Amino acid sequence: MRIPCPHCGERGNDEFLYRGAAGLPRPPADATEAQWHDYVYLRDNPYGSHRELWQHVHGCRRWLVVTRDTRTHVIAAVTDVSMALS
C-alpha cells in the first residue's frame, strides 16, 4: 500500500504511523464518563470508506487525514490535518 503524502509525494505505508479513525469529536473536560467511554473505546469500524489519521514519521512528520476504502485499500483522498480538521 502506498500513500500519496501531499508534502513528500507517494511513499510506502511503512513510512507512516497509523492512529485510527480521524475526526472523533473530543468531549469537553466536564463531559460525563459515558461520553468519554464512547470517545475512547467505541468505533464505527466502517466496511468501505474510512477517514483515518496517519503520521508521516519517516518523512515530513506531518499528520495526515487519509480517506481509504477498507475493502480494497484504495486511497481516495489525502489532506494535511491542518486543512482537514480546521
Q: Which residues of the shown chain bind another protein in the complex (CB under 8 A)? A: 1, 12-14, 18, 20-21, 33-34, 37-38, 40-45, 47, 50, 52, 68, 70-73
Residue with cell 469537553: 28
- Dihedral sign (CA 63, 69, 74, 77): negative
Q: How far is the CB of 60 from another protein (least distance, A)?
A: 19
Please classify residue 53 by burial: count the beta carbons closer than 10 Å to its beta carbon, then call 0-12 exposed, 13-18 middle and 19+ buried.
buried
Q: How far is the CB of 81 from another protein (least distance, A)?
A: 17
Which lies closer to another protein via its Cβ, residue 21 or residue 83? 21
